[in-house]
Chain A
Amino acid sequence: MTSGAASEPQRYLEARIRWQPLEIAFWLASLLPFWLTPSYLVLASQIAITALFALSLDLILGYAGIVSLGHAAYFGFGSYTAGLLAKWGWGEPITGLAIAGVAAGLLGFLTSIIIARFRHLALIMITLGFGLLLAEAANSASWLTGGADGLQGVRMWQLLGLFPFDLYGRAAYAYSLCVLLLMFLLSRRLINSPFGLALRGIRERAIRMPAIGAHSPAHIRKIYTIAAVMAGIAGALLAQTTETVSLDTLGFQRSADVLVILILGGTGRLYGGIVGAIVYMVARDQFSGINPQYWYFWIGLLLIAVVMFLPNGILGGLARLIPRRWRSV
């Protein structure tokens, strides 16, 4: 009995770590845009960046159960860090990405000390407040950020000294996709570890975790910092591939959008953010071509429908249709 109980979680984690055929197929399919839709590579790289951003939110929302309405703060902070670095003469993409990630992580760590103390409405309001605070600060400091005009004069060097960022977005997509895959592998490893299980415990019942000897605030600080690093990297990717940074990288709209994307795809599944990003960005690209004003009407209806009829998002709905042996995706 005791040995069986001890190996049960271990076996559970091992089963989760194993790669499913569907997952491998999914990542191979992510290469298809290079051949099938070469004129949409710019959109594809935007999708990859948004997916990375949604993935970072999934880590804190889907696993630790921290509802954040201000996650764009880290995205924008990473974006401005990378943009300013390139503007001041260091246009090397990969080190720029790393520096932006570290900067956003530092900010994330500082805020996480406060975040870990609150839950429910106070938490939502504090994350919202931080996001708005940072957006206001960036707006006020127009000598640094360019204010409402956006950051001008960002010039990137060639990727690895070989591939320039061109108008067709080939290098941009390859670069964003590689970073997304790398971050995905990291997150996948992270959430299928005992640490990941502790996070799920916090999500399910926060009061009980200290009772079984897990120090929740420390776990929350760690995952919040990691999520901030990833959001910062996503922001830096956007700054580097578009060679501009605007105030809306920090805005409330972006925080709300990424939440919608994640919910649409399904939380706590890692792939939810990616699927949500694909559906949302492609739909926006199509609809806003017809009528950009009323895009939010359809997104709103979609949200209402998802909450009412698909509480676990697209992936949650699909999981009910797919055979059990693939279900761990």
Chain B
Amino acid sequence: MIASAVGVLFDGFAYGMLLFLLSVGLSVTLGMMNFVNLAHCSFAMLGGYVAVTLTNEFRWPFLATLPLAFLTAALVSVAFERVLYKRLYGASDLEQCLLTIGIVFVSVAAAAYVFGTVQQSVALPSYLRGTVAIAHRSFGVYRLFLIGVSLLITVALVAALEYTRFGAQVRAAVDNQRMARGLGIDVGRVFAITFALGSGLAGLGGALAVEIVGLDHAFAFTYLVYVLIVVAVGGLGSIGGSFAAATVLGISDMAGKYYFPELGAFLIYFVMITLLMWRPAGLFGRR
């Protein structure tokens, strides 16, 4: 019982870290521009396909594909932001939802066209495979790697947001966009960079997710719901909130699947609705 609990906690935490990488960008951009970007997971899917193609077709080492997954997702997303999203910043939630869900539809169909509908997998190098024994329990090496990478990124994000000039501009824009403009901050530019960074992180998350949850053309839809839950529960614009929400969600999802498999995803949705009814602005949200 205890052994399985440790295993569930570990796997759930690793899964939560994955959800955190996938959702943190959306949380910050939603908090800053109030732009409901449902296509966030399309950029994650793009990152995943970049990693899969480079390792399987071009025989790149897996680790080398990760920066490229990040870069591709960031560049493509900023192109979308400049061409399409920019025009809808003042529009209603509904129009933003529709535009971005249109992009999700297109990306899902395009992925099915280019890569087919089969489940993709990625070839891991030998040092990331297998398990390692710590205190007489075995842990998956890849999951440890995933947790390590995510924690590093979290620390880097928090540090960048707290201690750099750009981070201060981002915080100002999230707190009060109009005031930030009044102080001479180029909110459009700050937003574009944040958007690219967030989508890049999603792309990285997508590449790291292939080994854990697999990748198919419907990825952009399947994980959209999870990402939205993390963002809504964690509170907009809050990195700490996203981290907490992703951890809770990852562990409770894993525990639900392990201990009550007949309930399916029921537990997750129930937890989300209860949390949102209790705190509509999210656990750490201020608005």
Main secondary structure of the interface of A (DSSP, over half): helix
Q: Is the CB of A311 within 8 A of B276?
A: no
Q: Is the CB of A300 within 8 A of B102?
A: yes
**How far, in whole Å, are A121 and B92 apart by their CA atoms in the complex?**
11
Instruction: Judge if A307 is at the interface, Cβ distance under 8 Å.
Output: yes
Instruction: Judge if A114 is at the interface, Cβ distance under 8 Å.
Output: yes
**How far, in whole Å, are A120 and B97 apart by their CA atoms in the complex?**
12
Closest to B221 in A: A252
Instruction: Return chain B residues, CB-CB under 8 Å to A294.
Output: 109, 112-113
Instruction: Return chain B residues, CB-CB under 8 Å to A297.
Output: 105-106, 109-110, 113
Knowing A114-B277, A126-B273, the reply to whether A67 touches B97 (Cβ < 8 A) is yes
Q: Is the CB of B269 within 8 A of A306?
A: no
Closest to B287 in A: A120
Stretch from A134-142, A193-201, A212-220 that touches the partner: A134-142
Interface size on B, residues (CB 8 A): 43
Q: Is the CB of A133 within 8 A of B87?
A: no
Instruction: Return chain B residues, CB-CB under 8 Å to A126.
Output: 273, 276-277
**How far, in whole Å, are A296 and B105 apart by their CA atoms in the complex?**
5
Instruction: Judge if A129 is at the interface, Cβ distance under 8 Å.
Output: yes
Knowing A122-B276, A300-B106, the reply to whether A133 touches B101 (Cβ < 8 A) is no
Instruction: Judge if B186 is at the interface, Cβ distance under 8 Å.
Output: no
Instruction: Judge if B123 is at the interface, Cβ distance under 8 Å.
Output: no
Instruction: Return chain B residues, CB-CB under 8 Å to A299.
Output: 102, 105
Contact partner of A136 among B104, B113, B264, B272, CB < 8 A? B264
Knowing A307-B99, A311-B95, the reply to whether A140 touches B263 (Cβ < 8 A) is yes
Instruction: Judge if B1 is at the interface, Cβ distance under 8 Å.
Output: no
Closest to B229 in A: A125
Kindly identify, within residues 273 to 313 of chain A, every residue whose CB is under 8 Å from any CB belonging to chain B: 293-297, 299-304, 306-308, 311
Kindly identify, within residues 227 to 253 of chain B, every residue whose CB is under 8 Å from any CB belonging to chain A: 228-229, 232, 236
Instruction: Judge if A263 is at the interface, Cβ distance under 8 Å.
Output: yes
Q: Is the CB of A301 within 8 A of B102?
A: yes
Instruction: Judge if A270 is at the interface, Cβ distance under 8 Å.
Output: no
Main secondary structure of the interface of B (DSSP, over half): helix
Instruction: Judge if A256 is at the interface, Cβ distance under 8 Å.
Output: yes
CB proximity of B196 to chain A, nearest CB, Å: 21
Q: Convert B71-95 into 0s and 1s, putting 1 for each residue whose CB lies closer than 8 angstroms to a CB of A.
A: 0000000000000100110000111
Q: Is the CB of B104 within 8 A of A118?
A: no
Contact partner of A300 among B88, B93, B104, B225, CB < 8 A? B104
Instruction: Return chain B residues, CB-CB under 8 Å to A311.
Output: 95
Q: Is the CB of A293 within 8 A of B113?
A: yes
Q: Is the CB of B112 within 8 A of A293?
A: yes
Instruction: Return chain B residues, CB-CB under 8 Å to A308.
Output: 84, 87, 99
Q: Is the CB of A129 within 8 A of B93?
A: no
Q: Is the CB of A252 within 8 A of B232?
A: no
Instruction: Return chain A residues, CB-CB under 8 Å to B180.
Output: none
Q: Convert B113-148 into 0s and 1s, putting 1 for each residue whose CB lies closer than 8 angstroms to a CB of A.
A: 100010000000000000000000000000000000
Q: Is the CB of A121 within 8 A of B103?
A: no
CB proximity of B241 to chain A, nearest CB, Å: 13
Kindly identify, within residues 6 to 40 of chain B, every residue whose CB is under 8 Å from any CB belonging to chain A: 30, 36
Knowing A133-B266, A293-B112, the reply to whether A303 touches B102 (Cβ < 8 A) is yes
Instruction: Return chain B residues, CB-CB under 8 Å to A256.
Output: 101
Closest to A252 in B: B225
CB proximity of A144 to chain B, nearest CB, Å: 14
CB proximity of B26 to chain A, nearest CB, Å: 11
**How far, in whole Å, are A297 and B36 apart by their CA atoms in the complex?**
21
Closest to A122 in B: B280
Knowing A297-B105, A308-B87, the reply to whether A133 touches B270 (Cβ < 8 A) is yes
Q: Is the CB of A307 within 8 A of B98?
A: yes
Q: Is the CB of B87 within 8 A of A136?
A: no
Instruction: Judge if B149 is at the interface, Cβ distance under 8 Å.
Output: no
**How far, in whole Å, are A260 and B100 apart by their CA atoms in the complex?**
12
Q: Is the CB of B102 within 8 A of A132?
A: no
**How far, in whole Å, are A257 and B101 apart by their CA atoms in the complex?**
11
Instruction: Judge if B262 is at the interface, Cβ distance under 8 Å.
Output: yes
Contact partner of A260 among B98, B106, B109, B277, CB < 8 A? B98
Knowing A299-B105, A307-B95, the reply to whether A121 touches B84 (Cβ < 8 A) is no
Q: Is the CB of A133 within 8 A of B84?
A: no
Instruction: Return chain A residues, CB-CB under 8 Å to B232.
Output: 121-122, 125
Offer 19 A-B interface pairs, CB within 8 angstroms, sorted by A. A114-B277, A118-B276, A120-B93, A121-B30, A121-B93, A121-B232, A122-B276, A124-B36, A125-B276, A133-B266, A139-B264, A263-B94, A294-B113, A295-B109, A297-B110, A299-B102, A299-B105, A300-B106, A303-B105
Contacts A67-B97, A294-B113, A297-B106 known; 13 new A-B pairs at CB < 8 A: A67-B93, A118-B276, A122-B232, A126-B276, A133-B269, A133-B270, A252-B225, A256-B101, A263-B98, A293-B112, A300-B108, A304-B103, A311-B95
